[in-house]
Structure 1
Amino acid sequence: MIKVLIVEDDPMVSEMNKFYLEQVEGFRAQGWASSGEEVLEMLEEQVYDLILLDIYMKESNGLELLSEIRRKGIKIDVIVISAASDKESIQEALQNGAVDYLIKPFEFSRLRAALNGYREQNRLFRTQERLNQSELDRLSRFKQEPAASQELAKGFTRQTLQTIWKAVEACNCDLFSAEDISAVSGISRVSAGKYLVGLTEMGVLEMDLVYGSIGRPVQKYRLAPNGKSLITKYI
């Protein structure tokens, strides 16, 4: 379990950070401090793995605290979470060894990416004496997380869309109909047709009207040239 010290002078923000932190597996909020002086005292009394550090505090400056931690040779990692977005603050934090820098307000997915990456870094450093280049490269990219899924149109669910898409892939044919997808997926023809129309509007599929010898034309669908890359935004 990675023990975290939250440094934030606003109790409500501190509680929010604690809540977010503990949604990520492997982390526990072990303490809270509202000033640099308090942080230094707590670091003398207890060992922490990671600090979530604010810069703007009433009684302290987070960057000065980070500099003092480094001057004292205290071995602890720091992720800065701050509204400070000027390049000087960001550069100073990174030069003083902050492993990541999140600008308020931030999406939870960005914090989760930072924590997941830090957890992997922490695991590698604890369990291995040497790292190879691929492991180092993976650590350097840990901040990158796939973009958040696009919102679906009203009446669509991600689970059903995933089922429809699996059926599209399983069809393994150039053209397919709602009946074909219904048979493969087990979803009703009407619902399958609705999702195929939706996928067409998303640009994932293309639709053709196929005329038979008798009766009305049938709507047939094919995968658009960039359909496979587009669908990843929705499922």
Structure 2
Amino acid sequence: MINVMIVEDDPMVAEINKRYLSKIEGFLLAFIANSVDEAIRYLGEEDIQLILLDIFMPGKQGLELLTYLRKNELEIDVIIISAASDLERVKKALRYGVVDYLIKPFEFERFNAALVGYQQHTRFIDKQKAVSQQELDNYLLHRDEATMVEELPKGLTKDTLNQIWDAVQELKNVPFSTEELANIVGISRVSARKYLNFLKDLGILDVKVIYGTIGRPVYQHEYNQLKEYLIKNFL
């Protein structure tokens, strides 16, 4: 579980960030600080791995907290969530190593992508004692390639994909078959399989083949929540 602190002086925005965060597995909101000074006091008491940081606040601004973290060599990651869009502040935040920068206002899909991307980053780093050049290149060069807006493959439609996606959300807590999904949507297994293969290619579904003693093999689909943000480009 990743402990998160929200540093935001606007109660309404803090509540939105809190609500968004609660929708993503693997994160625990530890504290909401209304100022930089309050955030610094809390950091001395609790273990925080990630800060969701606003820039414009009364008193000390968010970038001063970022400077404090780096000056004191605190191993805490930061995602900026701010209305500040001028290049000077953006470049300073990037120089100080923020892992993402969200400009207000934003949709949940962008928030989710930032948090899930960070989650993948920490898992990649934490499980490695050493890394090869190829592994590092695969991670650094390809981690964002699927965030580009793309066209649906030929033969697939947005309306049907939305129905498929709704059905996947119903079934995602347990492995499910093509037939189960086709029955919910009301389409043939052949059509359902095309859409499920598309989701598999995106990485949102993992597929296992179960061989029984009689009849054809059954394809079981398992939902990969870490990749679900990739669907937003197609719905």
Which TM-score band applies after superposition, normalised by the shorter structure? 0.5 to 0.7
1:74 is the counterpart of 2:74: yes
DSSP-derived class of the 1:19 partner: helix
- Pairwise CA distance, 1:158: 3.4
Distance in 1 (alpha carbons) for counterparts of 2:58 and 2:151: 38
- Pairwise CA distance, 1:102: 0.7
Structure 2 partner of 1:106: 106
- Pairwise CA distance, 1:124: 1.9
Q: How many residues align?
A: 167
Change (3 A) 1:149 1:70: same
- Pairwise CA distance, 1:85: 0.3
Structure 1 partner of 2:15: 15
Change (3 A) 1:160 1:53: closer
Structure 2 partner of 1:95: 95
1:58 is the counterpart of 2:58: yes
- Pairwise CA distance, 1:54: 0.3
Change (3 A) 1:108 1:139: farther
Distance in 1 (alpha carbons) for counterparts of 2:163 and 2:37: 54
Choose between structure 1 and 2 for higher RCO, CA contacts under 8 A separated by at least 6 residues: 2
- Structure 2, gaps ≥5 residues long: 166-186, 190-231
- Pairwise CA distance, 1:132: 2.9
Seq. identity, %: 45
- Pairwise CA distance, 1:131: 2.3
| Structure with bigger gyration radius | 1
Once superposed, what is the RMSD of the aligned Cα atoms?
Answer: 2.9
Give the TM-score, by structure 2 length: 0.62
Structure 2 partner of 1:158: 161
DSSP-derived class of the 1:128 partner: coil
Change (3 A) 1:101 1:138: farther
- Pairwise CA distance, 1:29: 1.0
- Pairs within 5 Å for 1:1-235: 1-140=1-140, 141-143=142-144, 145-147=147-149, 156-158=159-161, 185=188
- Pairwise CA distance, 1:149: 8.9
Distance in 1 (alpha carbons) for counterparts of 2:29 and 2:68: 22
- Structure 1, gaps ≥5 residues long: 163-183, 187-231
Give the TM-score, by structure 1 length: 0.62
